[in-house]
Structure 1
Amino acid sequence: MNDNKQRLQAATNLDELYPVLDALRMTPGWHKKRPSLWPEPRTRFQPLHWSYDVGRVALDQAGRWIGMELAERRNLLLFNPVGDNDYDSVRTLVVAFQMLKPGEHARAHWHTPNAMRFVLDAEDGCYSIVNGVKVPMRTGDVLLTPAYAWHSHYNEGQGNAYWIDILDVPLVHLLEPMFWEEHPERYQPVTAEPEEHPFYRPHARNRELLAAAAPQDGVRRVLLDTANEIKTFDIGFTAIEAGSRRVQPRTTASRIIAVGQGRGTARIGGLTTQWARGDVLAVPSWTPYEIEAHEDAVLLEATDTPVMKALGYYREQ
């Protein structure tokens, strides 16, 4: 410590002082390499659009060589080109297309991050087991996998099953409380097979909720009651009549939009793109967006609004 004090005292000007401070792992607040505060939110994450048609072909190709004995999950992570990132879709969420072939079993594991599945195409016989609860995976269904829950996926149908995964893994990476464990026997036993369960939000019920919502300029919105299962992101549906549009000003929340039905145009920040069923859109924080439907459309949206509100950081423009 005395040597450090002597080096500091020996400095005759700021140019001599700065390298000594740097060696001590001290940064002068007036001499930072980059600003630490700015007038409004900014992000390097980009608005992006991923095509389900393209992703499905990619999964089919990968399925020729990657089986469940080589990979825990046959999935394609939809990443945002920020630096060397090849994982995060937006700051707090990651999205993936996943596929399971007939007769395959994605082995059981648990982890800190919360997860949800939005089923795009699946025949009878496809299902998940979450903490022993067997729940169907049918086209249009939403499945929830809370943090620390054992979960595995099975396809006992005749065709490939495809779905979208959304997880808060990037948030867990930022906060660092990551835990993960594989099931010691690979297979998770079924302890219950209920017709209704909080882990399972069937397509028909979601449509009923949407139909009951009051329309506003051709747009209906419903937020699913999932806070007891997943505390870090909201899940909701938006129905947009053909010719109508949803306009959303900037908010501090990051969001993922997955198309369950329809076609249209999205304008997200500086990106204008044509979307279709199964496609995924990324809306980074503080990015305005507008969704226009060319035909009747249904969109699933996942957003980290609960985290922003819990921390007192949620704001709208």
Structure 2
Amino acid sequence: MSLTEKPATSPERDAYYKKLDERSMSALWNVLSDIITPTPRSGCQPFKWDYDEARELLMESGGLITAKEAERRVLILENPGLRGQSRITTSLYAGLQLVLPGEVAPAHRHSQSALRFVVDGDGAYTNVAGERTLMHEGDFVITPPWAWHDHGNESDRPMVWLDGLDIPMASFFDASFAEGYGAESQPESIPRGDSLARYGSNLMPFGYEQQGLASPIFNYPYDRTREALEQMRLRNEWDPCHGLKMRYVNPLNGDDAMPTISTAMQLLPKGLVTDVYRATDATVFSVVEGHGRTTVGDTVIEWKPKDLFVVPSWAPVVHQAHDDAVLFGFSDRGVQQKLGFWREHRGG
């Protein structure tokens, strides 16, 4: 017998298995090939959400329910292979959140980590632990676990951002906690721009001791990220599988900016066709700039700005940029690396 085979059945064996079942037991040899697989096996499927279609549905929801009534007016991006589970990959949740002009998404906190990646609009804010930051397209914003946070829109246009959370991970460990603040907004007790000034300029306050595992910077502005990518372009050192890819880090230790969700931004120059790449971390992509095509196994995904798509674990992927393109991505890579699970394969 091998890992891909199951033993033959017989009346005697079936009777034995029935006795096991009555005692909440089962035989490993009957399920071994299902639980220890030669390669990753998941219901997660490659899929694209067209932003124009999603935005139309979001705007419709704005006329049906308020941000206050909904707590968070979000359309969950459910992977077609994981329907009904509120998952975009096996381990991660994603959704598109809408906050209309004049609205406030009430303050609350939870044990799950959350990222906000601004897809559409400028000028809304998020308040994390008393510090408010304005949000602009392409900004990456962190909400650490158990931090009070609320959102509001004082601009004159709707704001849409991508939410990414480790909800399935917290659920797996039965470690979900949440509570409301008791008011729509928390006080703005910290000057705006404080965290970026303290920790985002290659400086650190003297005597600072790390609190929690997330980065002390909670807004990574897109203009800084884009400038860094353009500066690195001058070296002309393109990774054959990724173009030019940079990960968001915690400046205190160089780890991922979030302990359970790895995030990155990559630049694909016009005409680039990447080498085949596969890795065990299923990845969610949000298109910031440009047009292109991503081939995931036998699935071809044509994308444009603001579209979102997902690449499952261990699926062979090739990106092709029709013009200069910028992609934001997030996955559970950091968790897998710390647990010793993560693996990649380049080319071929």
TM-score, normalised by the number of residues in structure 2: 0.83
Matches within 5 A, 1:1-317: 13-32=12-31, 35-82=34-81, 84-124=83-123, 126-197=124-195, 198-213=217-232, 214-217=235-238, 219-226=243-250, 227=255, 229-317=257-345
* AA of the residue aligned to 1:222: M
Cα offset, 1:248, TM superposition: 4.8
* AA of the residue aligned to 1:14: R
* AA of the residue aligned to 2:84: N
Say whether the 8 Å CA contact 1:224–1:235 is kept in structure 2.
Answer: yes
TM-aligned CA distance change 1:287 to 1:32, over 3 Å = closer
Report which stretch shifted further, 23-32 or 132-141.
23-32
Backbone CA RMSD of aligned residues: 1.9
Report which stretch shifted further, 216-225 or 202-211.
216-225
Cα offset, 1:253, TM superposition: 1.0
Q: For 1:140 and 1:15, how far apart are their aligned partners in 2? A: 58
* AA of the residue aligned to 1:202: P
**How many corresponding residue pairs?**
305
Instruction: Give the match's secondary structure for 2:125.
Output: strand
Q: For 2:263 and 2:13, how far apart are their aligned partners in 1? A: 53
Gaps of 5+ in 1: 1-11
**CA distances 1:267-294 after superposition (whole Å, capped 9, x unpaired):** 1122102101111111111112111111
Instruction: Give the match's secondary structure for 2:42.
Output: coil
Instruction: Give the match's secondary structure for 1:42.
Output: coil
Instruction: Name 2:213's counterpart in structure 1.
Output: none
Cα offset, 1:229, TM superposition: 4.8
Bigger relative CO (Cα 8 Å, ≥ 6 apart) = 1
TM-aligned CA distance change 1:235 to 1:190, over 3 Å = same
Instruction: Give the match's secondary structure for 1:250.
Output: strand
TM-aligned CA distance change 1:238 to 1:246, over 3 Å = farther
Instruction: Name 2:4's counterpart in structure 1.
Output: none
TM-aligned CA distance change 1:212 to 1:24, over 3 Å = same
TM-aligned CA distance change 1:215 to 1:74, over 3 Å = farther
Say whether the 8 Å CA contact 1:135–1:193 is kept in structure 2.
Answer: no
Q: For 2:83 and 2:288, how far apart are their aligned partners in 1? A: 31
* AA of the residue aligned to 1:85: G
Instruction: Give the match's secondary structure for 1:188.
Output: coil
Q: Percent identity?
A: 31
* AA of the residue aligned to 1:24: R
* AA of the residue aligned to 2:237: Q
**CA distances 1:9-52 after superposition (whole Å, capped 9, x unpaired):** xxx94343221111001112234496322211111110111111
Q: For 2:51 and 2:339, how far apart are their aligned partners in 1? A: 34
TM-score, normalised by the number of residues in structure 1: 0.90
Instruction: Give the match's secondary structure for 2:279.
Output: coil
* AA of the residue aligned to 1:216: E
Cα offset, 1:202, TM superposition: 0.7
